[in-house]
C-alpha cells in the first residue's frame, strides 16, 4: 500500500507578514475607520496567515479521499495489521486526516486495551459518515472560514455601522484580496458573491456566532 506523504514541520508553520498599506487602507475604509490600530492590523494579518497555511494543507483534501484512506485502514485491520504504523495514519494529524476524524478516532485506535472489533466498528462508522458528505471544494471552504472569522472577530466588533451591508461586503472583498484571493469574478457575477454570502451565513449560524448583519 502506498504510504501517505507525511507533512514536514515546515509545512505547518504559519508565517505572519505585515499587510500592505493599500490593503490596510481598504479594510479601514470599509470598516468606516480613519485607520487601523496596530492590534487590529496584527489580528487581520494572523487570520490571513492562517488562511494561507490552511489552504496549502487543504489542497486535494476531499471527503472521498478521507473515506478511501479509512477504507484502506479498515482492510489492514481486518487482516490483523493494527499496529502503531497502521494506526498512525489516524493518530498523527500530520498524516492529513480531517480534524473531526482524528479527534474522534485517535483515542480509540491508540488504546491498546480496545478490542479490534470495537476499533473496526468506529472506523467504519466514521467512514460511512464521510462517504455521505457531498463533494466540497476545500479552497472554497477555506475562503468561507476566513470570511466568517473576519466578520465575527473584526466586522462585528469594530465596524462603525455594522448594519451597512454595502460596506460589509466591501470589507469582505478587501479581506479576500489582502489574502491573495481573486475577487474579480465575484465583483462581476453577483451570483458567486451570493453563494459565498450564503455559505458564510450558514457557518456563522452553525458556530452560534452572530453574523452582524451579514
User: For residue range 151-196, what is the model confidence (pLDDT) as tens digits?
Assistant: 999 999 999 999 999 999 999 999 999 999 988 888 888 788 788 8
Predicted pLDDT of residue 21: 94
DSSP 10: G
DSSP alpha helix (H) spans, the chain:
21-31, 38-58, 63-78, 84-91, 99-109, 116-131, 138-150, 156-158, 165-178, 184-188, 190-206
Is there a single domain that holds both residue 83 and residue 114?
Answer: yes
CA–centroid distance for 192 within its chain: 19
Structural domains counted in the chain? 2
Q: Pick 31 or 96 by higher pLDDT.
A: 31
Instruction: Tell me if 158 is assigned to some domain.
Output: yes
**Longest CA pairwise span in the chain (Å):** 65
Is there a single domain that holds both residue 142 and residue 55?
Answer: yes
Q: How confident is the model at residue 214 (pLDDT cuts 50, 70, 90)?
A: very low
What does the alpha-carbon distance between residue 147 and residue 143 come to, in Å, rounded to a whole number? 6
Mean pLDDT of the chain: 82
Final residue of a domain: which of 131, 157, 183?
131
What does the alpha-carbon distance between residue 46 and residue 53 come to, in Å, rounded to a whole number? 11
pLDDT digits (tens, 9 = 90+) for 24-38: 999 999 999 999 999
Whether residue 7 contacts residue 57, with contact meaning beta carbons closer than 8 Å, is answered with yes
pLDDT digits (tens, 9 = 90+) for 107-143: 888 888 889 899 999 999 999 988 887 776 778 888 8
Final residue of a domain: which of 86, 109, 131?
131
Amino acid at each position: 500500500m502506498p504510504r501517505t506523504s507525511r507533512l514536514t514541520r515546515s509545512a505547518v508553520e504559519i508565517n505572519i507578514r505585515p499587510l500592505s498599506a493599500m490593503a490596510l487602507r481598504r479594510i479601514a475604509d470599509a470598516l468606516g475607520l480613519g485607520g487601523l490600530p496596530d492590534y487590529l492590523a496584527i489580528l487581520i494579518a494572523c487570520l490571513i496567515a492562517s488562511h494561507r497555511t490552511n489552504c496549502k494543507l487543504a489542497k486535494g483534501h476531499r471527503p472521498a479521499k478521507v473515506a478511501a484512506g479509512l477504507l484502506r485502514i479498515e482492510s489492514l485491520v481486518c487482516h490483523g495489521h493494527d499496529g502503531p504504523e497502521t494506526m498512525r495514519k489516524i493518530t498523527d494529524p500530520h498524516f492529513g486526516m480531517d480534524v473531526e476524524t482524528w479527534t474522534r478516532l485517535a483515542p480509540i485506535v491508540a488504546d491498546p486495551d480496545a478490542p479490534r472489533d470495537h476499533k473496526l466498528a468506529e472506523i467504519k462508522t466514521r467512514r460511512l459518515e464521510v462517504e455521505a458528505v457531498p463533494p466540497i471544494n476545500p479552497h472554497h471552504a477555506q475562503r468561507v472560514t476566513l470570511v466568517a472569522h473576519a466578520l465575527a472577530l473584526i466586522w462585528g466588533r469594530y465596524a462603525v455601522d455594522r448594519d451597512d451591508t454595502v460596506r460589509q461586503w466591501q470589507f469582505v472583498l478587501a479581506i479576500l484580496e489582502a489574502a491573495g484571493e481573486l475577487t474579480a469574478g465575484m465583483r462581476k457575477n453577483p451570483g458567486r458573491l451570493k453563494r459565498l454570502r450564503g455559505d458564510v451565513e450558514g457557518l456563522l449560524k452553525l458556530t452560534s456566532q452572530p453574523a452582524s448583519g451579514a
